[in-house]
A and B are shown apart, each in its own frame.
Chain A
C-alpha cells in the first residue's frame, strides 16, 4: 500500500517535471503550423526538417567544437585549481583561513549578469577579445567558488586517520592525497563537473559581446538565431534546444555511474 502511494506520487511528479521537456522535444518534430494552435497538437507525423535547419547553419561544427573546448577546459581547470585550494582550506592551518572561507562564499554571490560590461572592458583593454581562452578563464572562475566549496566539504569528511595511515606506510603527503583521498572525492568531483558544465555550456551574455568573430562563437549564440525580428522559427529553436540539452543528459548519465562507484568504496561512511 505504501509502495503504491510512493510510486504513484513519483509518477505524477515525474510527469509534471518532464512535461515542459517533452513539449520541447515534441515541438521540434512538429511542422511549423502545428506549433501554436488553439488546441494543442499531441499526435502528429514527425518531421526532421527542423534538425536539418538547425544543423545546416554555417559554421555549426565550429560552434560545437568551441563549446566543447571552452566548457571542458573550464571544468578541468576548475577541478584542478579547486582541489588544491580546498585541500588547503580543509586540511591545513594557516593565517587567513577563515578569511578565505568568507571570500569563497562572497565570490559565489558575484552578480555575473551585471558584470558583463566591466568584464568586457577588461578583456578589451587587455586585447583578449575573440579568444576561446578568455571565455575558458571566465567560465572557470564562475565555477570555481562552488567547486572549492563542494570539494572542501568532501575532503573534510574523509577521516584523517586514513591519510595518516597512508603516510605511516611511507607515502608522502602528496601521494597520500592522490592514493587515499582523491578516489573518495568522486561524488564531489562529479557534482562540481556537472555544475560547471551546465553553467559554462549555457552561458550566452558574455560570449555575445566578447567574441564577435563568428569563428570564436559558441552554441548558445546559435541557439538564439532562429528567433528573429522576421518571425520565429519555433521548430528550429526547439530542435536546437533539444540537441543542446542532450550533451548535458549524457554527461549526467556518465557521471552518475562513476559516482555510484566512488560511493560504493564505502570509506566515506567511516
Chain B
C-alpha cells in the first residue's frame, strides 16, 4: 500500500520534475550508452591532463565523457550509495587503503583484462582480493621531511641520513636558533606507522579468520617512542593531526618552523602561502631517515586506484576509458603533468624529478613504503574517533603506553573485523 503510494508520488515526480534535474530521459547522467561518467577526487588530476584525455577519448569513441570532480566531505557516503545505483557512475577513483573494502561489497567490477599490464608491484597489492583484480593503480605519493634551508644553515645543522643524525640536527637547531626545530602534531598516525614499520611492526596482524590490533607490542612501543622523541622538539599540541589546522597552509607560513613532514601538495601549498605573504620559501627535502644510513625510514605509501562500478551504465566503455587513462602514454603524461611529483603506477613510466626537488626525495623512499592492513574494516578504524590517534595523544601526554595501547588494540580489533 505505502509502496504504491511512494510509486505514485514517484510518477508525479517524473512528470513534474523540470529540466533542472540531471535525470532527464536517459535515467541518469551516466546511464546512456553514448556517455560515461567518471568520478575523480578534488585535487587529484591536473586539469589539462583530464581535458586532453577526455577530448582524445571522445574523438576515438564518439561518446561524451563527464568527469565529475568529487569533494572530500562526505565522499564515503556518496561512493557507497553511488555503487548501489545503476548507471550513476562508471569509473571512479578510490583511495588505495579503501579499495579492498569496496571490492568486498561486490560493488566493483572484475578487471581481469588488466592483469597483465606492467603495474608497480607494491601499488598492485591494494587493488586485489584473492587474486581478483578490482582496480588498477593510478598514482602513489609518500611523505618526506621538508626543511627550511635558511634556518638549517643558520643553525649549522646537517641533512641527516640516520635517526641519530636527525635528532642531533634538531638539537642543533634548538640550541642555535629561535625556530621550532620540527613541527609535528601529536596525531600524525601515518608518520608514526612508519616508525612502527621500521621496528618490524604494523597496526594490525591477521589472527585466525580475522585481524587484531598489534600496537601493544615492543615494535609498536618502539615506533611510538621515537615519535615522542621527535614530537618533543615541536610546540604543536598533542591532540591534533596535521590537517587541522592544516600544517602546510595555516601553520608553516605563520610560524618559524625549521622542518616538518609532509606530502608534495603540502609543500606546494606552503610555498604558495608564503609567497602570498610576500616571502620566499627556501625549502630543501630529504627522505625520512632510517635507523642506519643504508636503510631509509618507512613511509606510508598513499595513493589512488581507479575502478569500474559493478553497476556501470556502460561497462565496456568504462573499461575502454580505464585502459586509455592508464596506458603507458597517458600514464607518462600524467606523471609529467604532475612534474614528477607522483610515484608512477607502471614500471614503463619514468618520473625524472629535478635534483633537490620534493619528488626526488619522495621517489627515493617509495621503495620502503608500507601500507596499512588491506581489509574491509580498515576504513572503520580510521573513522573519527580514531583509536590510533587517541593512543598517540595519551602516550604523548605521559600515560602508560602499554595499557593505552591494549585499549587501542581492542578497539582496532573490534572495528577492523566489521564488514
Q: Which of the four size classes fits the interface of chain B?
A: 35 or more
B88 at the A/B interface (Cβ < 8 Å)? yes
Q: Which of the four size classes fits the interface of chain A?
A: 35 or more
A158 at the A/B interface (Cβ < 8 Å)? no
**Which B residues are CB-close (under 8 A) to A125?**
6
Q: How far is the CA of A62 from the CA of B19 in the complex (A)?
A: 11
Of the candidate stretches A6-14, A130-138, A244-252, the one touching chain B is A130-138
Q: How far is the CA of A209 from the CA of B16 in the complex (A)?
A: 21
**Which A residues are CB-close (under 8 A) to B17?**
131-133
- 9 pairs, CB–CB < 8 Å, chain A vs chain B: A36-B245, A122-B6, A128-B10, A130-B23, A137-B9, A209-B78, A229-B41, A231-B250, A234-B250
Q: Rank and list the top 5 A-B pairs by shortest CB-CB distance, nearest first.
A: A213-B22, A215-B22, A126-B10, A230-B43, A133-B13
In addition to A124-B84, A208-B74, 5 A-B residue pairs with Cβ atoms within 8 Å of each other are: A32-B249, A33-B253, A126-B7, A128-B9, A209-B78
A142 at the A/B interface (Cβ < 8 Å)? no
B280 to chain A, nearest CB (A): 14
B279 to chain A, nearest CB (A): 9
Scan A124-161; emit 1 where CB is below 8 A from any B CB, else 0.
Answer: 11111111111001000000000000000000000000
List chain B positions with a Cβ less than 8 A from chain A. 6-7, 9-10, 12-14, 16-18, 20-23, 27-29, 41-43, 68, 71-74, 77-78, 81-82, 84-85, 88-89, 243-246, 248-251, 253-254, 265-266, 269, 273, 276-277
Central interface residue in B12, B20, B29, B253, by most chain A CB within 10 Å: B20
A54 to chain B, nearest CB (A): 14
**Which A residues are CB-close (under 8 A) to B78?**
208-209, 212
**Which A residues are CB-close (under 8 A) to B251?**
36
* Contact among B20, B246, B277 with A232 in the assembled complex (CB-CB below 8 Å): B246
**Cβ–Cβ contact A221 & B71, under 8 A:** yes
From B253, which residue of chain A is reached at the shortest CB distance? A33
| Known contacts A221-B71, A228-B43; is-contact A127 B10 (Cβ 8 Å) | yes
* Contact among B9, B21, B246 with A130 in the assembled complex (CB-CB below 8 Å): B21
**Cβ–Cβ contact A213 & B245, under 8 A:** no
* Contact among B21, B73, B84, B269 with A224 in the assembled complex (CB-CB below 8 Å): B73
**Cβ–Cβ contact A62 & B20, under 8 A:** yes
| Known contacts A122-B6, A134-B13, A231-B248; is-contact A212 B71 (Cβ 8 Å) | no
**Which B residues are CB-close (under 8 A) to A230?**
42-43, 265, 269
**Which B residues are CB-close (under 8 A) to A128?**
9-10, 13
| Known contacts A126-B9, A213-B29; is-contact A228 B71 (Cβ 8 Å) | yes
**Cβ–Cβ contact B73 & A225, under 8 A:** yes
Q: How far is the CA of A97 from the CA of B10 in the complex (A)?
A: 30
* Contact among A130, A133, A228, A234 with B22 in the assembled complex (CB-CB below 8 Å): A130
**Cβ–Cβ contact B6 & A216, under 8 A:** no
Q: How far is the CA of A124 from the CA of B74 in the complex (A)?
A: 18
* Contact among A36, A129, A205 with B254 in the assembled complex (CB-CB below 8 Å): A36
From A66, which residue of chain B is reached at the shortest CB distance? B20
* Contact among B20, B42, B265 with A215 in the assembled complex (CB-CB below 8 Å): B20
Scan A167-211; emit 1 where CB is below 8 A from any B CB, else 0.
Answer: 000000000000000000000000000000000000001001100
**Cβ–Cβ contact B88 & A229, under 8 A:** no
Q: How far is the CA of A229 from the CA of B266 in the complex (A)?
A: 10
B398 to chain A, nearest CB (A): 26
Q: How far is the CA of A137 from the CA of B41 in the complex (A)?
A: 30
Q: How far is the CA of A78 from the CA of B22 in the complex (A)?
A: 26
**Cβ–Cβ contact A229 & B72, under 8 A:** yes
B236 to chain A, nearest CB (A): 13
A267 at the A/B interface (Cβ < 8 Å)? no
**Which B residues are CB-close (under 8 A) to A62?**
20
Q: How far is the CA of A137 from the CA of B6 in the complex (A)?
A: 12
From A230, which residue of chain B is reached at the shortest CB distance? B43
**Which B residues are CB-close (under 8 A) to A208?**
74, 77-78
From B279, which residue of chain A is reached at the shortest CB distance? A33
Q: Which of A62-102 contact B (CB under 8 A)?
A: 62, 65-66, 69
From A62, which residue of chain B is reached at the shortest CB distance? B20
* Contact among B6, B9, B73 with A227 in the assembled complex (CB-CB below 8 Å): B73
Q: How far is the CA of A132 from the CA of B74 in the complex (A)?
A: 20
From A234, which residue of chain B is reached at the shortest CB distance? B250
**Which B residues are CB-close (under 8 A) to A216?**
20-23
| Known contacts A213-B28, A214-B68; is-contact A65 B20 (Cβ 8 Å) | yes
| Known contacts A214-B68, A216-B20; is-contact A231 B269 (Cβ 8 Å) | yes
* Contact among B89, B244, B245, B276 with A31 in the assembled complex (CB-CB below 8 Å): B276
B294 to chain A, nearest CB (A): 34
Q: How far is the CA of A130 from the CA of B24 in the complex (A)?
A: 10
**Which B residues are CB-close (under 8 A) to A137?**
9
Q: How far is the CA of A127 from the CA of B21 in the complex (A)?
A: 13
